[in-house]
Amino acid sequence: MQLPLPLPAQVPLSWYLILSVILFVTGAAGFLLRRNIITVFMCIELMLNAVNLTFIAFSHQLKQVDGNLFAFFVMVVAAAEAAVGLAIILTVFKNRSTLEVDEVSSMKL
């Protein structure tokens, strides 16, 4: 099938990697700039996702399943992290009734 756009039929691997870089940096920017603790947490997830994309792209490149497995483990760890992290956020909110990262800077109330 002919595409109307001047595009290669197949995508070079580097495109996936560049996409991954963009997503990672966006996540990092959000992590640094946002104040809401939940949004910060979501930015971490975004960075993990970007890394996963790299893993799977290399897995395809090397024709080996290992990259997929790494991504799988990352997801499992992310699930565990989300469970604990959200529980922490709930507790923090219960004790301080705020979600601003800056206001949760002290260890004690």
Give the shortest CB-41-to-another protein separation in angstroms. Answer: 8
Placement of tokens 């809401």 in the chain: 36
For residue 95, what are its two tokens? 């004790």
DSSP, res 64: -
Q: How far apart are CA 64 and CA 89, in angstroms?
A: 38
Q: How far apart are CA 67 and CA 55, in angstroms?
A: 5
| Residue with Cβ nearer another protein (10 or 105) | 10
Residues facing residue 36 across a β-bridge: 100
| Residue with Cβ nearer another protein (16 or 107) | 16
Give the shortest CB-101-to-another protein separation in angstroms. Answer: 10
Give the shortest CB-105-to-another protein separation in angstroms. Answer: 14
Placement of tokens 């090397």 in the chain: 62
Give the shortest CB-95-to-another protein separation in angstroms. Answer: 6
